[in-house]
Structures are given as structure tokens and as C-alpha cells.
Amino acid sequence: MSKKPSVYEQIIQKYPRVFTGGNTIELHNVGWVDIIDDVCSIINDELEHMPEELAQGIYASQIKTKFGGLRFYMSHSTPIIEGAIRMAEMISLRACEVCGNKGFPITIGSWTSTFCTKHRHQEEERVAAERIKWAKEELARQVEDSEDPK
């Protein structure tokens, strides 16, 4: 039985012209799937309306999150592609990266993400639990080191 492709693999398969460089989408959440699908559709339309020799050198080289927003990097670009990407990046800062609902950028720990209220609270709880775990592990190491005769 074959594994069902992830939503991002499905986008890559849907827009082979946009992903001719063989690169992938480096995101862990699915809240921005519609934004990515829309910008890929615009890029694909732009590529279809230009000479093939030019279109062949234009592809998505990396899609990731940075500073709480979507980042979409291309090998080369056009003004239309740049505008679509800029719009998608701005929209991502207003959409939860987990569920796609209305969100806002927030820094938790040293990482900035864009979450709705529900997912922000879940992430804050996860980070707090991690900090407690790390603190307990560090305390255990310190106790072990203090009891170890050298």
C-alpha cells in the first residue's frame, strides 16, 4: 500500500513547472497551504505565458518560514511573481500557520511564529513544559556532578 502524499507534496505535483528544481517545501504546519497553492497558481500562470526558454530557468528554490512569516525563494523572478510572493508573505503574517485562521505573529522563547489564539496558547504550554523538563535535567546533572568524586 502506498503512502498518501502530504499536502505539500500534492502542491509540488500540481505545479511541476514551479518546482522543476526538485526542491521541497520546508514547513511543518498546514495552515498556509491555501496561500502557497494560490501563489503557485499565479507563478504557474506567469510561466505559461512567457517563452519556454525563459520559463525553464524560473522555479521555486525554497519555501519556508522565517520570522513568523512565509518565505518563498525563486531561482529568478518577474515583477508579477515578485508581487504575488510579497502578497503571500504579507497574508501569512495574518494567518495561523497551524490552522489558517486569523492569526498574528508572536515570539515565544526565541522563535517567532504566527498563531491564532488557540494555537498560541498550545505553543506557550508546550514551550513551558519543555523548559521545565530541561531545568529538571540540568538540576539532575548538577546533582550528579556534585556527588561524583573526581
- How do residues 95-136 score in pLDDT, each as one tens digit? 999 999 999 999 987 889 999 999 999 999 988 898 999 999
Q: Could you give the angle at the alpha carbon of 90 between the alpha carbons of 35 and 60, nearest 5°? A: 55
Taking Cα atoms as reference points, which of 85, 79, 81, 74 lies closest to residue 32? Answer: 85
Domain positions in the chain: 7-147
Ramachandran angles phi, psi of 25, nearest 5°? -100, 120
pLDDT of residue 149: 65
The whole-number pLDDT of residue 82 equals 97
Give residue 4's pLDDT: 64
- Per residue of the chain (150 residues), give pLDDT as tens: 556 668 988 999 999 999 987 777 888 899 999 999 999 999 999 999 999 999 989 999 999 999 999 999 999 999 999 999 999 999 999 999 999 999 999 998 788 999 999 999 999 998 889 899 999 999 988 888 787 665
pLDDT, residue 125, reads 92
In the sheet that 25-26 helps form, which strands lie side by side, from edge to edge?
Answer: 25-26, 60-66, 69-74
